Amino acid sequence: MVTDRGLQVLRAIVQDYVDTHEPVGSKSIVERHSFGVSAATIRNDMALLEDEELIAAPHTSSGRVPTDKGYRVFVDHLAELRPLSPAQRHAITSFLDGPGDLDDLLVRTVRGLTHLTGQVAIVQYPSFARASVSHVELVALEGGRLIVILVTDTGRVSQRLVASRIELDEVAMVRARSVVGDLIVGRSVREGAQRVDEFLSTASDEPDIPAATVAIVRIVAEELEEFRQDRLVMAGAANLARRESDFRGSIYPLLEAIEEQVTLLRLMSEMVADEQGLATSIGRENEPFGLGEASVVASDYDATGSHARVGLLGPTRMDYPSNLAAVRAVARYLTRMLEDDENAR
Amino acid sequence: MVTDRGLQVLRAIVQDYVDTHEPVGSKSIVERHSFGVSAATIRNDMALLEDEELIAAPHTSSGRVPTDKGYRVFVDHLAELRPLSPAQRHAITSFLDGPGDLDDLLVRTVRGLTHLTGQVAIVQYPSFARASVSHVELVALEGGRLIVILVTDTGRVSQRLVASRIELDEVAMVRARSVVGDLIVGRSVREGAQRVDEFLSTASDEPDIPAATVAIVRIVAEELEEFRQDRLVMAGAANLARRESDFRGSIYPLLEAIEEQVTLLRLMSEMVADEQGLATSIGRENEPFGLGEASVVASDYDATGSHARVGLLGPTRMDYPSNLAAVRAVARYLTRMLEDDENAR
DNA sequence: AATTGGCACTCAGATCAGGGGAGTGCCAGC
DNA sequence: GCTGGCACTCCCCTGATCTGAGTGCCAATT
């Protein structure tokens, strides 16, 4: 049975270990914290913590290191978010403020966050599946080239240039505009995609639908599909190389996950947030994603109805209180900015 | 004076060292290559190569390792491109073929190249400064939002969504369209940008130009600026972690350069190509860019008038013949695809 | 019952010495 | 100009020893 003081000892071990990067012994705990008891007493507590598998000893006679389970208890029960310094708050606002569209804003967000924390910063694009298509534009260029532009009410734009080999006269364009508009404008992305698919599957039976229209609808289908896919923006991957010694194995799987995106996307989506919108995934909990030596902390933010996450990826041995505080602050500010944006329309 | 056989010895040393990752001694050269002379003779040649600083010994009595200068001589005078296997050629075509616009094509290019070589692959966007603006589209959305779309004759599209706070009625749009069209359509990006800047600097004196028009032209100026900036697409950064032991120091500066882009952009631009369009930059030659432990090989490719480069970044101790052959093959195929594209219009 | 000081014990890591071996440089002879 | 021979260098592996930080346990104390 771990006592209350036992938990405080765990807290001390996590803090000191993150700080010094060395296994922490009973004596150094007594020195660095004022428990008012002797090293032998701490040792007894540590023995209990070890029974509970909250800490472990790298070798028989060395200091102790938190286990993944230990970090979990620390984060869930012992950690208080470390409030940001005024300078840090200021840094966030100056990073995030500025002109530009959603893409620019998210890029600035991850840059700022990685600068603030020294970890890899990740932000999910707000989900567009529930956004609705507010505008479709077809622009014919010379030589049969064509641009298809979709805009959602959440402010995302997708554009695609294709070199169709079909001749597109004005009549064909008008026809196509009306068909595409009927199919998706005012509909949600999800619903629109469904209707487009239906159209495509029946179109071949209807002889009076021109081939050009079908070709254009096919492009629209591709673009909608892209909208439905969630995406990430990241920054600070190079930090992993600086912190390489924090990882037992190679940082290769981490860099690969960053490049692939899809793994991190799933990981970020599947994390469970607490009532404050904060979520953590620690060490071996990430094993299914091949990231058993890493931790992720994330915070929900709101973007006009849909919600998404902004987070940090780093070594299991990271400073959770600071990093959680950072993602929460950034998420809140981001939410505020997106709301202002909404109101400004 | 290095003899002809001396150079062959250098070739053998480079090949074996890249192969085994261990300093190569006179005896192993005799074993692995058929020079028809004894180890002692090879040793004499090696002494000369060392005098010329083409090879060096990590310790007094160990095998030799090529210096950066040695690699340079190897690449310039001794290396023959290693022809790709049919399977590799096939891989290139199947990677590059496929639907999609320029962005998609370049992404597939770097993915394919990194897969083929195990190095970091980089491709420059074709320069758009000399491309001309073929089309401008202004689309007003509800709530004062506005999309500004530019298209060049080389097929690049840029789009920007802004939430202007200025009310945009149909009259204002017509007016703005005509002004912007007169300024840039049919002009090169460079020239267009100049004319836009002139317009903006004189516009404040002309009271009969509406504020909305000026605001829109200002957005156009930003987009043109973005066009003028060269950009890179990269893939395979994770490979650096796998080859980490090939770098004496940390891979941090490399990952940072990859993230920053601007350093690599300059490096890629400043490399000097030979008559075949191949360029290499080896080890310390990259010191000004903070990449003194890395090498870059690149090949020019043509994209509708402008030209750009596709290359590989890796450790100085890389397989130059294979990598040069790979970038050349990919560059040629890429050129062909872009030409076909052009003809298909 | 909790805490404490004492003490034996463990084990990683540093330091040192002693080969073994790969490789060199040099030289005399072919 | 090439070769075999030989002394020499120095990395690296192995084993031995030592040190010190830290533990586990126990009997004594509060």
- Cα A127 from Cα B209, distance rounded (Å): 40
Could you tell me what percent of chain A has a pLDDT over 70?
A: 96
Region A151-172: what's the mean pLDDT?
A: 76
* Three-class DSSP category at A264: helix
pLDDT tens, residue by residue, A306-323 = 789 999 999 999 999 999
CA angle B135, B140, B146 (to 5 degrees): 80
pLDDT reported for residue B345: 43
Please give the structure tokens belonging to residue A97.
């403020």
pLDDT, mean of each 10-residue run, chain B (345 residues): 91 96 94 91 95 93 94 94 95 88 89 97 86 84 80 79 73 87 88 90 78 85 83 96 91 96 94 95 96 96 83 97 97 88 55
Residues in chain A closer than 8 A to B159 (CB atoms): 149, 157, 159
Q: Who among B135, B139, B258 is closest to A135 (CB)?
A: B139
- Cα A150 from Cα B21, distance rounded (Å): 53
Distance of CA B341 to the CA centre of its chain: 21
- Cα A73 from Cα A54, distance rounded (Å): 8
Region A140-154: what's the mean pLDDT?
A: 79
B28 touches strand C (CB under 7 A): yes
- Give the distance, in angstroms, between residue A3 CA and nucleotide C11 C1': 30
Residues in chain A closer than 8 A to B341 (CB atoms): 163
Residues in chain A closer than 8 A to B145 (CB atoms): 155, 345
Nearest nt (C1') to B44 (CA)?
A: C25
What letter would DSSP give residue A139? E
- Give the distance, in angstroms, between residue A157 CA and nucleotide C18 C1': 74
Please state the length of chain A. Answer: 345
pLDDT reported for residue B149: 86
Residues in chain A closer than 8 A to B160 (CB atoms): 101
Nearest CA in chain A to B158: A159
DSSP secondary structure string, B106-128?
A: HHHHHHHHHHHHSSEEEEEPPP-
Residue A344 has pLDDT above 60, yes or no: no
Region A89-104: what's the mean pLDDT?
A: 87
Interface contact B161-A165, CB threshold 8 A? no
**Residue B314: beta bridge partners?**
B295
Nearest nt (C1') to B47 (CA)?
A: C25
pLDDT tens, residue by residue, A231-246 = 899 999 999 999 998 9
Nearest CA in chain B to A254: B238
pLDDT reported for residue A266: 94
Interface contact B344-A163, CB threshold 8 A? yes
pLDDT reported for residue B27: 93
B251 close to B216: Cβ distance less than 8 angstroms: no
Neighbours of B345 (CB within 10 A): 14
Report which secondary-structure segment, H or E, holds B39: helix B39-51
Interface contact A252-B235, CB threshold 8 A? no
pLDDT reported for residue A227: 80
> Crossing angle for the helix pair B86-96 and B320-344, nearest 10 degrees?
40
- Residue B304: closest CA among B126, B37, B159: B126
Q: Who among A101, A160, A235 is closest to B160 (CB)?
A: A101
What letter would DSSP give residue B210? -
Residue A157 phi/psi, 5-degree rounding, is: -120, 140
Q: Number of Cβ pairs closer than 8 Å across A and B?
A: 103
Q: From edge to edge, which strands make up the β-sheet containing A133-140? A: A133-140, A145-152, A157-163
Of A122-126, A223-227, B201-205, the poorest mean pLDDT is in B201-205
A244 close to A252: Cβ distance less than 8 angstroms: no
pLDDT reported for residue B340: 74
Nearest CA in chain A to B257: A238
Distance of CA A183 to the CA centre of its chain: 32
- Cα B232 from Cα B309, distance rounded (Å): 10
- Cα B146 from Cα B160, distance rounded (Å): 8
Confidence of residue A345 (pLDDT cuts 50, 70, 90): very low
Helix-strand-coil split of chain B, %, nearest 5: 55, 20, 30
Q: Looking at the complex, report in whole angstroms how far the Cα of residue A115 sits from the nearest Cα belonging to chain B.
A: 13
Report which secondary-structure segment, H or E, holds B176: helix B170-184
Interface contact A141-B162, CB threshold 8 A? no
Neighbours of B170 (CB within 10 A): 8
Sequence-ordered list of residues with C-beta below 8 angstroms from that of B45, at least 6 positions apart, any chain: B2, B3, B5, B6, B9
pTM of the entire predicted model: 0.89
pLDDT reported for residue A171: 84
- Residue A337: closest CA among A189, A155, A119, A85: A155
B25 touches strand C (CB under 7 A): yes
- Give the distance, in angstroms, between residue B25 CA and nucleotide C17 C1': 28
Confidence of residue A189 (pLDDT cuts 50, 70, 90): confident
Nearest CA in chain A to B219: A100
pLDDT reported for residue A16: 96
Report which secondary-structure segment, H or E, holds B321: helix B320-344
**Residue A151: beta bridge partners?**
A135, A157
- Residue B323: closest CA among B97, B79, B91: B79
pLDDT reported for residue B305: 67
CA distances for B337 relative to B90, B106, B310, B341, angstroms: 15, 11, 14, 6
Residues in chain B closer than 8 A to A242 (CB atoms): 250, 252
Phi-psi region of B65 (alpha: psi -120 to 50; beta: other; left: phi over 0): beta
A278 close to A298: Cβ distance less than 8 angstroms: yes
Within A90-231, strands assigned E span 120-124, 133-140, 145-152, 157-163
pLDDT tens, residue by residue, A37-65 = 999 999 999 999 999 999 999 988 889 99
Q: Who among B142, B241, B256 is closest to A251 (CB)?
A: B241
Please give the structure tokens belonging to residue B218.
């200002």
Residue A202 has pLDDT above 70, yes or no: yes
